[in-house]
Every structure is written in C-alpha cells, then in structure tokens.
Amino acid sequence: MANIRSLLLVFLVTFAIAPRVEAGEFVHFKSGNATLIGYLARPMGSGPFPAVVLLHGSGGFHASMLSWADRLSRWGYVALSVDSFSPRGRRGAGNVANEQAGDAFEALRYLTGLSQVRANAVALMGFSMGGMSTLADLEQGSSIARLYRDRFRAGIAFYPQCDGFSGLMSVPTLVLVGELDSWTTAAACIDMVAGKSVIGLERTPGIRPDVKLIIYPGARHGFDIADLGIIMGGVTVEGHRLEYNEAATRDAAQQVRSFLDSKLVD
C-alpha cells in the first residue's frame, strides 16, 4: 500500500503531539534489532485490566494514535500504541509492513509482563496499514503468529486493505471502513467477508462468522483522524481523499467499546 507520509508531515508541523497526552507515558521495548517506542496509557488502579495494542497506518505515529490510547484507558483498558517507523529511521511503509506485524507480538509480550494487565485478555487494533498487519497476525494459519507464543484474543481493523486476506480469522475481528474510501475499499472487504475469490486470491466460499464488517455511508479513508477536521474538506494524498467524519467516528468508538467489552471483559 502506498504511504501517506505527506499527510503525516502536515500533522507534525501543524500539531504538537505532547499536548495530546492525557494519562500515559512513553516506553521502550525490543522488536528484532530495533528498540521501539510506545505510548502506554493505563486506567487508574492496580487492575489487572484487559489491554489493547495499537498499530499505526503508513502515515506514521501521529496524534490520533495517542488519542485512541487515551480513550481506551478511560474505558478501563491498558493501551499501548506502537511506533514502528521512527526507531527504524523510516517514514513510509516499505518492508516495515512485515516488521510491524511482528511488532504487535512484541508489544503483546511487553504488556503481558505488566502486573496491571490480564495476559489472556489483549486485543490488537490497527489502522490502514496497521489494519492490514492486524489481519495478517490474526488470520488462521498466520505465518507470523506461529513465531510467537502469546496470542491476541480479538482484533479490530480500521480501513484495512482486505484484498490479500482470506477473512478466515483465528479470533473475533471487527472491520470498520468508509463507503467512499478509494484507498482501501469497502468492496474489497465485502468480498473478503463473503468469501468471494478475486484475482490473485482463491478464497474458501462462505460467510466469515468471526468477522463483523461495518461500512460507514459517506465516510472516506482516515475518517476517525480528528486533525483532518481542522483541514476543511480533508486532504488529497496520492489521488485519494482523506476526510474526518464525526458521525462515523462517534459510532466507531461505540462499536469498538462494545466489541472489546464483549470479548475481553469477563
């Protein structure tokens, strides 16, 4: 998937990340040869709490990743947003897409080492490229997952590129995409959930019961990125429109909370 680093630059020049931090701290953990940076937000109290690992898109680690972590902590989840780009000195997706999928499991290992976290109640949540990493990690027979001992209990993928995935997931998975997204299309996710074969990918027919797909009418790529709302009408990056949608974001937050509560809270 093409990267959106030009959008990231707009964010980092215009908006400072530090003031967005509410309840968290920056932490470090190893992934392969890299020492990654993560933003860790925790609820008040000793727990143990369920937790969520968050993976950014090809635009990089911008303010929205911190906002989501803070939101999750307010709901009673320990949240760890992972920066897969900066520690590796990269701005675009490139081969970091494969590395990011492994980063998720290293973040999971970090979280399960915290006394405040319930080790058997951790979900993976990704956006765009991070959504693809989420599907790659949680798909049945994942070649990445078999390299690690720990397992996620649920997954959430915001506007992932669904074309290359079977849709047969190892855990319950929520997929959210905009109807007008021209970058990671709703149609591709509909085909995935329906088990429809496409050029280059033969899928086993049948509905995917472990996948819940939500399509937001009128919404585009990046519909939950609040900073896009400051830029009237959104932005166009590499021919694709990115635009904040308040109604879609509000509903997506409710869907995410309900989904996590149903899968992680006993």
Query: What pLDDT does 16 receive?
Result: 36
- Which residues form the domain of 46? 5-264
Q: What is the domain-level CATH number for residue 168?
A: 3.40.50.1820
* Cα–Cα distance for residue pair 170/89, rounded to 1 Å: 33
Nearest Cα neighbor of 78 from 55, 35, 108 is 108
Report, as ranges of residue numbers, the positions in the chain whose pLDDT lies below 50.
Answer: 1-21
Token duo for residue 25? 């701290």
User: Helix, strand or coil for residue 207?
Assistant: coil
DSSP β-ladder status, 34-41 and 24-31: antiparallel
Residues 6+ apart with CB under 8 A from 35: 28, 29, 87
> How far is the CA of 118 from the CAs of 200, 210, 245, 264, in angstroms?
40, 23, 33, 9
The structure's pTM equals: 0.90
Specify the number of domains making up the chain: 1
Q: At what angle do helices 96-112 and 129-138 cross, to 10 degrees?
A: 70
Q: Which two tokens stand for residue 65?
A: 């990743």
Q: Which phi and psi (to 5°) does residue 183 adopt?
A: -95, -50
Tell me how many helices (H) and strands (E) the chain has.
7, 10
Q: Would you state the pLDDT for residue 92? A: 54
pLDDT one-digit tens code per residue, 137-162: 999 999 999 999 999 999 999 999 99
